């Protein structure tokens, strides 16, 4: 069997990166003096009410992706709504921002009112957990654009942070420590590859089967929610200095950690520092995946990373522990090099 890759499943991370780089040029032509273009890497910033104001409005948009196909087969529509809020919240949380309000979009070839209500119930559950208001949204029925049975869920979050409290990674330096928070599974990334490996589009019954050596079905393994980190991480804000935070989404540790690193440093991550959850062991074995590919396609068990000074590690771990969150030391920042070095 040929080694599986995300590209073979129809997702080209490098092509997506190229498109984003070209889009940035177009977006730059629209900037006003209140756009803080040199700040966030996971979200956009806008000073309010005036250019240079202390208050920064933070915005991010994302979607649940092809995980929706599995959620439909598993009849877990509430989880789709929860996922989109969870994903978007972490994308602004990494900059120290707290959510204010959320907007959702549900598009389909044929809308099922019961399904839409179930999705939005998941949205509201996650919003209540973050103190975020669901301000509005859009439902669109577009036959001919979406095939019958197809569904899309997208969300936009708006938050805020003071300029003095912003976490942007600029202060990261050699010797800083990377602390990893565990994921609950694949979250909302890597599902085009998962569906290809399982063959679940053509044989959905596979989701009810257990991989060899597991007591859990494939549906239970891959159908977990995108973990919401806000309740555990928010108590750190303002209590201890955090040099950088990273939400591990598409591209895994290898592509996401470098987004927050300043030039002149790299991150060395020790793969043996945490136990890889069984879902990733089964998937990588099924696809005979190379480690470099699996760590770009999947989060491999680490869904959120904090970068702190060595002398702050104990305090950060203690605060997280108060909220039931263990933080594992998974690596450090070192001088020179580029990106992530995976030991």
CATH code at 273?
3.90.650.10
- Quickly state the pLDDT bin for 267 (edges 50, 70, 90): very high
Residue 331 has pLDDT above 80, yes or no: yes
Shared-domain flag, residues 98 and 209: no
d(CA 117, CA 160): 28
Same structural domain, 251 and 306: yes
Residue at 150 is within a domain = yes
The whole-number pLDDT of residue 270 equals 95
Whole-angstrom distance, CA of residue 181 vs CA of residue 152 = 29
Q: Please check whether residues 160 and 223 belong to one and the same domain.
A: no
Structural domain contains residue 115: yes
Residue 13 placed within a domain = no
Q: Which residue has the tokens 């491999």?
A: 300
Number of Cβ within 10 Å of residue 216's Cβ equals 13
Q: Which domain holds residue 267?
A: 177-342
Checking DSSP bridges between strand 55-63 and strand 151-162, what pairing results, if any?
antiparallel
Same domain (yes/no): 153, 222: no
DSSP label at 50? S
How many angstroms from the chain centroid is the CA of residue 249? 4
Based on the domain organization, do 102 and 207 belong to the same domain?
no
160 and 204 co-located in one domain: no
Backbone angles phi, psi at 140, to 5 degrees: -130, 125
Quote the pTM value: 0.91
Residues 180-199 pLDDT 10s:
999 999 999 999 999 999 99
Within 8 A by CB and 6+ apart from 217, the residues are 207, 208, 209, 210
pLDDT of residue 3: 63
d(CA 340, CA 343): 10
CATH number, residue 60: 3.30.1330.10
Report how far apart, in Å, the C-alpha atoms of 97 and of each of 40, 41, 86, 317 are. 11, 13, 14, 20
- The domain boundary, picked from 140, 165, 190, lies at 165
In this prediction, residue 39 carries a pLDDT of: 62
**Burial class (CB within 10 angstroms; exposed 0-12, middle 13-18, buried 19+) of 237:** middle
Quickly state the pLDDT bin for 5 (edges 50, 70, 90).
Answer: low
Distance, in Å, from the CA atom of 240 to the CA atom of 91, rounded to the nearest integer, reads 20
Mean pLDDT over residues 57-74, rounded? 96
pLDDT, tens digit, 9 for 90 and up, residues 279-327: 999 999 999 998 889 999 999 999 999 999 999 999 999 999 999 999 9
Check residue 291 and give its pLDDT: 86
Domain annotation covers residue 24? no
Domain tally, the chain: 2
The answer to whether 4 and 287 have CB atoms below 8 angstroms apart is yes
Interval 7-48: pLDDT, tens: 665 566 677 677 777 887 887 888 889 998 766 678 999 999
SS3 state at 24: helix
Question: What is the model's pLDDT at position 309?
Answer: 98
- State residue 40's pLDDT score: 62
If you compute the radius of gyration of the chain from its CA atoms, what whole number of angstroms results? Answer: 20
Q: Are 207 and 115 found together in one domain?
A: no
C-alpha–C-alpha distance, residues 111 and 138, integer Å: 12
Question: CA-CA distance, 256 to 6, in Å (whole number)?
Answer: 16
Per the prediction, the chain carries an average pLDDT of: 93
From the list 286, 224, 262, the residue with the least C-alpha distance to 71 is 224
Domain identity same for 60 and 132: yes
- Does 326 lie in the same domain as 252? yes
How far, in Å, CA of 242 to CA of 254, rounded? 21
Question: Where does the pLDDT of residue 175 fall: very low under 50, low under 70, confident under 90, or very high at 90 and above?
Answer: very high
Task: Annotate 235-289 with DSSP letters as a single string.
Answer: GGTTTS---EEEE--TTHHHHHGGGGPPTTEEEEE-GGGSPPPHHHHHHHHHTT-
In a domain, 94, yes or no: yes
Among 137, 165, 193, identify where a domain stops: 165
Residue at a domain's end among 145, 165, 185: 165
Could you report how far apart the first and last alpha carbons of the chain are, in Å? Answer: 26
Residue-wise pLDDT for 107-150, tens only, equals: 999 999 999 999 999 999 999 999 999 999 999 999 999 888 88
């Amino acid at each position: 069997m040929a080694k599986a890759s995300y590209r073979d499943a129809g997702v080209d991370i490098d092509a997506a990166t190229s498109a984003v780089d070209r889009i940035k040029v177009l977006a730059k032509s629209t900037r006003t003096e209140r756009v803080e273009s040199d700040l966030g890497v996971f979200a956009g910033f806008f000073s309010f009410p005036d250019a240079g104001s202390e208050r920064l409005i933070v915005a991010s948009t994302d979607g649940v992706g092809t995980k929706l196909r599995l959620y439909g087969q598993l009849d877990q529509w509430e989880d789709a709504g929860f996922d989109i809020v969870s994903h978007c919240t972490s994308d602004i949380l990494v900059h120290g921002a707290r959510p204010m309000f959320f907007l959702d979009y549900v598009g389909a070839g044929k809308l099922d009112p019961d399904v839409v209500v179930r999705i939005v119930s998941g949205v509201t559950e996650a919003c209540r957990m973050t103190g975020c208001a669901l301000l509005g949204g859009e439902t669109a029925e577009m036959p001919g654009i979406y095939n019958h049975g197809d569904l899309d869920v997208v969300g936009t979050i708006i938050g805020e942070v003071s300029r003095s409290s912003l976490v942007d990674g600029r202060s990261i330096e050699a010797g800083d420590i990377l602390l990893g928070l565990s994921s609950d599974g694949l979250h909302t990334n890597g599902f085009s590859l998962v569906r290809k490996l399982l063959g679940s589009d053509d044989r959905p019954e596979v989701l009810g089967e257990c991989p060899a050596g597991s007591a859990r079905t494939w549906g239970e393994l891959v159908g977990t929610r995108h973990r919401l980190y806000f309740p555990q991480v928010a108590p750190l804000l303002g209590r201890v200095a955090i040099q950088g935070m990273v939400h591990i989404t598409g591209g895994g540790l290898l592509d996401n950690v470098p987004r927050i690193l300043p030039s002149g440093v790299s991150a060395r991550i020790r793969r043996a520092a945490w136990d890889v959850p069984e879902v990733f062991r089964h998937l990588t074995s099924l696809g005979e995946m190379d480690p470099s590919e699996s760590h770009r396609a999947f989060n491999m068990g680490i869904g959120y990373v904090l970068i702190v000074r060595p002398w702050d590690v104990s305090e950060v771990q203690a605060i997280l522990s108060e909220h039931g969150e263990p933080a594992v030391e998974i690596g450090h920042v070192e001088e020179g090099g580029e990106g992530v070095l995976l030991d």
